[in-house]
Amino acid sequence: MIESWRWFGPLDRISISEIGQTGARGIVTSLHEVPYGEVWTREAIATRRAEIEAAPGGLHWAVVESVQVHDAIKKGDGPLDALYGAYRETIANLAAEGVRVICYNFMPILDWTRTRLDAALPTGGTALRFSAVEMAAFEVHMLGRDGAEADYPDAVLAQASDWAKQATEADRERLLSSIMAGLPGYYNRFDIKQLQDILEEWKGITEADVTANLKRFLSEVVPTAEEHGVRLCVHPDDPPRPLLGLPRIVSNATQIAELLGAVDSPANGLTLCSGSLGANPDNDVPAIARRFADRIHFAHLRNVTKEPDGSFQESAHLEGDTDMVALVKVLLDEEARRRAEGRADAEIPFRPDHGHELLSDIGAGTHPGYPMIGRLRGLAELRGVIAGLSHAG
């Protein structure tokens, strides 16, 4: 497996030379400064690639995360030919610079969503956390979204009401800021009124609509990916449940099967995110990986601990509810199968995802979920699992 590390380019407080000291060799990055829907020029891609390759440690640009899909495509809103054309041109430009794995997501408006970025750990340090109670308080009492009450159990709504009564202005600002933090590299951050306005644009758009829009997107861009030897890999929803009244369409094995089957091509693949899928109590993550192994082109390896009310918290990589050893075994078995076929792209790039803030991480101001020491701990643990399984044969 290709040990990789997410880097936010010039936006990142962790330098490319520091990443070289982790032992990872693949860089996972994006041109975050390019607005959604615009072409990534070959010149801009080459500049970023050269910056990566000039750093010590033998680094290379292994995966793009992400070439973001414009919300107009997700909504199926208005003339889209120019947006599809820009995406196809970006695919071709990336391939011309040797970057051939593209992770993307189809989540409306927000990417990953958490309600607290600094949940205290018993031994010190902090973790990302999703609280069903705080999310309900946000939707019902801060956002005032029509119909939000129907999305939460009565017990959660009662606790949310208590939270709203006791919350200070600082509590409310912290909650809004935490929810907005799941958009690294995207410059817009919405206040309550802006979020209400943008949600209004999504009224009446159903899960079936968004699924159809993703299938159309695939039909428009997968042929270009095939032509240039590029692997597209959709990232699952995080968390894998509807939020803010918005449909989620990549949350379980049934939905994944439908989307991969819509354009049945190796270029239409999956980013196996163990944390995103693992937050759904109905998902058996190693089983999902086994079922779709031949279409996994990239992996995010992290763990979460779930709670009965729908809350979850980021765990250490080898803790939490997903059997990480079993999951890594599935990926190694798939690599062995690909090597037996003689494939040059047999190795699956992976990265440690959403580490805890530990020691000097705290207060360092790195992107939420992306500290140095917490992810380095995760990488070391995963490296040990891979070595042990590989030695065992």
Residue from 70, 151, 235, 361 carrying the catalytic annotation = 235
What single string gives the DSSP state of each residue in 115-140? Answer: SEEEEEPTTSSEEEEE-HHHHHHIII
Q: Mean pLDDT per 10-residue run, the chain (393 residues)?
A: 95 94 96 93 98 94 95 93 98 98 94 95 96 98 96 97 97 95 64 92 95 98 98 97 94 98 97 98 98 98 97 97 98 97 95 96 93 98 97 77
Residue from 12, 151, 353, 361 carrying the catalytic annotation = 353
Residue from 84, 103, 237, 300 carrying the catalytic annotation = 300
CA triplet 117, 121, 123: central angle to 5 degrees? 150
Within a 13 Å sphere around the CA of 135, how many CA atoms are in the beta-carbon half?
A: 23
Q: How far apart are CA 306 and CA 289, in angstroms?
A: 20
**Phi, psi angles (nearest 5°) of residue 391:** -65, -40
Q: What is the pLDDT of residue 185?
A: 47
**Phi, psi angles (nearest 5°) of residue 104:** -150, 165
Q: Which of 45, 160, 182, 181 is nearest to 111 (CA)?
A: 182
For residue 300, indicate whether it is catalytic: yes
For residue 354, indicate whether it is catalytic: yes
What single string gives the DSSP state of each residue in 201-259? Answer: HTTT--HHHHHHHHHHHHHHHHHHHHHTT-EEEEEPPSSSS-BTTB---SSSHHHHHHH
Q: What is the pLDDT of residue 371?
A: 97
Tokens representing 172 are 């409310």
Residues contacting 307, CB < 8 A, separation 6+: 132, 313
The CB density around residue 84, as the number of other CB atoms within 10 Å, is 18
Structure pTM?
0.95
Q: How far apart are CA 205 and CA 109, in angstroms?
A: 13
Helix axes 324-340, 372-392, angle to 10 degrees: 60
For residue 356, indicate whether it is catalytic: no
Q: Which of 44, 127, 129, 136 is nearest to 90 (CA)?
A: 44
Q: How far apart are CA 130 and CA 370, in angstroms?
A: 16
Answer yes or no: are the C-beta atoms of 225 and 267 closer than 8 Å.
yes
How many residues comprise the chain?
393
Q: What is the pLDDT of residue 377?
A: 97
Answer yes or no: are the C-beta atoms of 79 and 42 closer than 8 Å.
no
- Return the domain boundaries, the chain: 2-113+201-392, 128-192
Domain 2-113+201-392 is found in CATH 1.10.1200.10: no
Burial string for 169-202 (b: 16+ CB within 10 Å, else e) reads eeebebbbebbbbbbbbeeeebeeeebeeebeeb
Q: What is the pLDDT of residue 393?
A: 64
Answer yes or no: are the C-beta atoms of 324 and 385 closer than 8 Å.
yes
SS3 label, residue 375: helix
Q: How far apart are CA 20 and CA 17, in angstroms?
A: 5
For residue 317, indicate whether it is catalytic: no
Strand order in the sheet with 126-130: 116-120, 126-130, 312-315, 303-306
